[in-house]
Structure 1
Amino acid sequence: MSGWQDMVKGNPVDWLLEPDIQNPAVRYLALRDLQDSPADSPEFIQAKADAFSTGSVATILSRMRPEGFWVKPGGGYGPKFTGSVWSLVTLAQMGADISHPGVRLAAEYMLGHTIAPAGWFSYNGTNPGLLHCHAGYLAAAMLDLGMTGDPKVMNAVEWQARLITGEDIAEVGDESPIRYYRYTPGPGFVCSANTGMPCAWGVVKAMGALSRVNCLQRSRTIHEAIETGRQFLFGTNLKICDFPTRDKSKDYRAWFKLGFPMLYSSDILEVLEVLTRLGDGADSRLQAIWQLVLDKQDAEGRWLMESAHDGKKWVTIEEKGQPGKWVTLRALRALKAAFPS
């Protein structure tokens, strides 16, 4: 395949760079990730300031309680889509970071309520509350927010890798607290919610977190866990996403509906994003999958918002069924990383 710009119709980057009252963070991230704007340029500095002070990011931050949580104290898994976990993960995907005092406060609050005694991320702060999807997207958010220097974050990522490989983890029912529990009952990506089969959502989210760890900082266990996830994804027919599911379905259509933000569920573009981050974006085995994504763009090189939790979040980010700047940004960013000019 050729360079990314040759694969895109029209010039959607100009569209992403337009001023947008509702989603000013798109302009900021397009400058950063598509235009490679210098971080000290006046244009970039202003775009980042606008992204934090207006639009969706500012609205979500305005709903945060002074203590650093949303809606109610605790682990933040509930209420769904407006609780602390969902709010913070959305902010991270919108480019927020801990340079903003409110974002730092929220990130530190989350660390204080979602790290289990064993050290891994948990939806309720207890050892049994480990779910690969939740631990993965929360760890990815923490890393994107700029929490890479926090030892608790890096330790939680290491624990997730060990839970994938099985290294030094006791079986379910063992007396050791460092064991598998009900929701994650064994190595790999098995999940009781998927009747003990590997959960593809968990794979993508866990790989999303592990892939964000700098190559030079990846432990042997992280490398082994990444290889386990890579084998799972490449061992699947991604054209139909025939992942194991509890209803034995061989065609899970939700994988082909692109959306934003990416929370517990996933889509085929996120699979490509993860594999690209791992250095596999241009692998010939992914050519047909890239083509599926490319075929979704309109004549102007824009992608539709096909999946959105309308009316459930603090803000309606973009209208479902219409060209979406966030989905378009996701697609262009992945293409640029996989097929640089």
Structure 2
Amino acid sequence: MDVVAWLLDSDPALRWQVLADLTDAPQDEVAAERARVATTGWGAHLLAEQADDGRWDGGIYRPGWVDESRPFFDAWTATHFALQQLADLGLDPASPQAERALGLVREHVRWEHEGEPFFDGEVEPCINGVALRTAGYFEQDASPMVSTLLAGRLPDGGWNCWAEHGASVSSFHSTVCVVEGLLAWERAGHDEPDVREARLSGEEYLLDRGLFRRRSDGTVADPRMTMLSYPVRWYHDVLRGLEHFRLADRRDPRLAEAVELVRGKADERGLWTLELHHEGPTLLDLGEGEGFPSRWVTLRALRVLRWWDGGPG
């Protein structure tokens, strides 16, 4: 099976990343395909869902409606996760569509917590980590959010969204969100020693645990972390961790087990399955189902393996 051809038979948001990361296509070809994200398919659909008040589905982290029958529920339709998805799709930050969408967010969107501007951040590090990654990707000023994250690091080097309620041990989920955000902030041109030091300490937290094991006894911290998912939302899994270290270009022998775990999940055709779907309402149907081959998971796995197998350089 021609896996690359199968991947290219898709939406512009996926096609441009395949061209860039797996085929080394000319930059003008990649740029032309990426430009279509704003006007065609998933990207255009998601942009069209934004209201004039800058929000998606009437809310910031949760939608404007509440399911009273469920005391806690996941919904991926509000502004926070819509922006995360637009960054995943690779919407060009310099496009007029991105500038309009982010302008509306800056002007209107305030966190429900205490009315802080969106890019000033909230209180929970997992939320701020995802929002900082959005800010870095779309080149937005998020200095207050960075300060909040730096102040919230725990003694073991990572972060935990329950720290304000007494948690003293970091969480895989919170930590991966934060290190992604800090890396995006650095890549946006903020070469600040304290930010880099915090990111490296969070990475050490993940590396010391091989991305999915308890440090205390080496057992699997949560079997779901060994399952491949997309979109990842706020959840950690081995492929999400490896994608982060690929972007950071930090090869470390402690990643080897996670790499081989991912490599071993390919089927006889060279495709990877969506093993875990994070339930909840969405604004975007990516056309993929749990238990079936996934273009998104396959792309992400292949580019991680290409990076890892390429060696230093």
Return the TM-score normalized by structure 2. 0.80
Contact (CA 8 Å) 1:272, 1:334: kept in 2 or not? yes
The alignment partner of 2:153 has SS state of helix
Q: Partner of 2:47 in structure 1? A: 61
Deviation, structure 1 residue 293? 0.4
1:14 equivalent to 2:5? Answer yes
Q: What is the Cα deviation at residue 278 of structure 1? A: 2.9
Q: Do the aligned partners of 1:241 and 1:251 also contact (CA within 8 Å) in 2?
A: yes
How big is the shift at 1:275?
2.4
Alpha-carbon distance change, 110 to 57 in structure 1, aligned in 2, over 3 angstroms? same
CA distance in 1, matches of 2:255, 2:277: 26
Bigger relative contact order (CA 8 A; separation at least 6): 1
Q: Distance in 2 between the 1:305 and 1:198 partners?
A: 27
Provide the identity percentage: 25
CA displacement at 1:159 relative to structure 2: 4.3
Equivalent pairs, count: 291
DSSP 3-state at the match of 2:28: coil
Counterpart residue number, 1:220: 193
Q: Does 1:136 align with 2:136?
A: no
Alignment-derived partner of residue 202 in structure 2: 229
Secondary structure, aligned partner of 1:29: helix
- Partner of residue 33, structure 1: 21
> In 2, Cα distance between the equivalents of 1:163 and 1:302?
39
- Cα contact 2:54–2:109 (8 A) shared by 1: no
Aligned to 1:93: 88
Q: Secondary structure in 2 aligned to 1:129?
A: coil
- Root-mean-square deviation (Å): 3.2
**Alignment map for 1:200-279 (pairs within 5 Å):** 200-212=172-184, 213-214=186-187, 217-238=190-211, 240-242=212-214, 251-279=221-249
Q: Give the distance between the partners of 1:243 and 1:108, measured in 2 at CA.
A: 43
The amino acid that maps onto 2:17 is L
> Does the aligned pair in 2 maintain the 1:97–1:144 contact within 8 Å?
no
Inter-CA distance 36–130: structure 2 relative to 1 (3 Å threshold):
farther
For residue 42 of structure 2, what is the amino acid of its counterpart?
A: S
Q: Distance in 2 between matches of 1:339 and 1:290?
A: 10
Give the 5 Å matches for 1:1-341. 11-18=2-9, 20=10, 23-41=11-29, 44-72=30-58, 76-79=60-63, 80-112=75-107, 125=116, 129-145=122-138, 147=139, 150=140, 152-154=141-143, 156-157=145-146, 159-164=148-153, 188-192=158-162, 196=167, 197-212=169-184, 213-214=186-187, 217-238=190-211, 240-242=212-214, 251-281=221-251, 283-309=252-278, 312-317=281-286, 318-340=288-310
Cα distance, 1:160 vs. partner?
2.2
Q: Is residue 113–residue 125 contact of structure 1 (8 Å, CA) maintained in 2?
A: no
TM-score (norm 1): 0.74
SS at match of 1:319: coil
> Once the 2 structures are TM-superposed, how far is the Cα of residue 272 of structure 1 from its aligned partner?
1.3
Q: 2-side partners of 1:113 and 1:338: how far apart?
A: 42
Partners of 2:78 and 2:231 lie apart in 1 by 15
CA-CA distance at 1:252 after TM superposition: 0.8
Q: Which whole-Å CA distance do the structure 1 matches of 2:104 and 2:207 have between them?
A: 37
AA aligned opposite 2:15: R
One-letter identity of the residue aligned with 1:31: L
Contact 1:68–1:106 at 8 Å: present in 2 too? yes
Using the alignment, how far apart are the partners of 1:154 and 1:39 within structure 2?
Answer: 32
8 Å CA contact retained: 2:137, 2:188: no
**Counterpart amino acid of residue 6 in structure 2:** W
Q: Give the conservation status (yes or no) of the 8 Å contact 2:136–2:187.
A: no
